[in-house]
Amino acid sequence: MARDTIPIWNRNQADEDAMGATHAPIWRRMIDVGATHDLRQSTVLDYGCNQGGFLRLLYDRHPFKSAMGIDIARESVARAELLKGHRPIAYKVGDLAADLGQTFDLAFSHEVIYLLPDPAAHARDIKAALRPGGAYVAAMGCHTDSSLWPRWRKLITETSSIPIYDHSLEEVASAFAQAGFGVSVRPLALDAFMPFTVGSAYFPKVVDQLRYYSSDKVLFRFVRTP
């Protein structure tokens, strides 16, 4: 069942607009480990595209045949359309990939699964949108296995326009395995310096940030079996 749309995800417009820049090092890492082959004949889905920055970065580094971004945030999708330039990308408002009317070779999402009430339903939806053998790379640091999650849950709830959910890594992995995906996982293991803000509500200590990017934040790779 499709969810209601919203204007933007973050209640603070300035924070919403800043997400692309803050997420760029993570997106680069996702691309480095998740897009390892020539994409010029590939179709790509970005599930939870926000303002479209991930697909723009992906195309500029690895040109693809075409791509679609989907998100329930109407104003963010409109912004993504304005910023896409010449790139062969379309953006749509919604949350059901199966309703897009096409199948994709490769799909990505970044910190979206914890915003979905039912990982099993999401797995079935992504399966319907992927060709057999297609892969879905999903980054997830917001999960109950993270030592930071109790703190983060409270902070994110204060800024998110939609509910958030408590999913474990096992729950997500099991949902996709049961839907007919081959499941693999690795740490994000960010290969970049990340700025540290003294007094950060999200990372009270330097070691919290190090552990998060080296251990807590993971990349799932779900491959649809024939």
CATH fold group of domain 13-224: Rossmann fold (3.40.50)
Calculated CA dihedral for residues 193, 115, 104, 128, nearest 10 degrees? 150
Task: Please give the distance of CA 14 from its chain centroid, rounded to a whole number.
Answer: 20
pLDDT above 80 (res 131) = yes
Amino acid found at 94: G
User: Lowest-confidence range among 54-58, 80-84, 193-197?
Assistant: 193-197
The count of other CB atoms within 10 Å of the CB of residue 222 is 27
What is the pLDDT of the chain when averaged over all its residues? 94
pTM over 0.85, yes/no: yes
pLDDT at 63: 98
Q: Hey, where are the domains in the chain?
A: 13-224
pLDDT tens per residue, range 29-52: 999 999 989 999 999 999 999 999
Helical ranges in the chain per DSSP H: 13-34, 53-61, 74-83, 119-129, 149-159, 169-178, 206-211
DSSP alpha helices (H): ranges in 84-118?
none
188 token code pair: 């994000």
Is the model's pLDDT at 2 over the cut of 70?
A: no
Distance CA 129, CA 131 (A): 7
Q: Residue 10: its pLDDT value, please? A: 75
Q: How confident is the model at residue 206 (pLDDT cuts 50, 70, 90)?
A: very high
Helices then strands (H, E): number in the chain? 7, 7
Per-residue model confidence (pLDDT) at position 102: 94
CA angle 184, 31, 101 (to 5 degrees): 80
Q: Is there a contact between 6 and 73 (Cβ–Cβ < 8 Å)?
A: yes
pLDDT at 111: 97
Q: What's the CA gap between 6 and 74, in Å, rounded?
A: 6
136-189: pLDDT as tens digits:
999 999 999 999 999 999 999 999 999 999 999 999 999 999 999 999 999 999
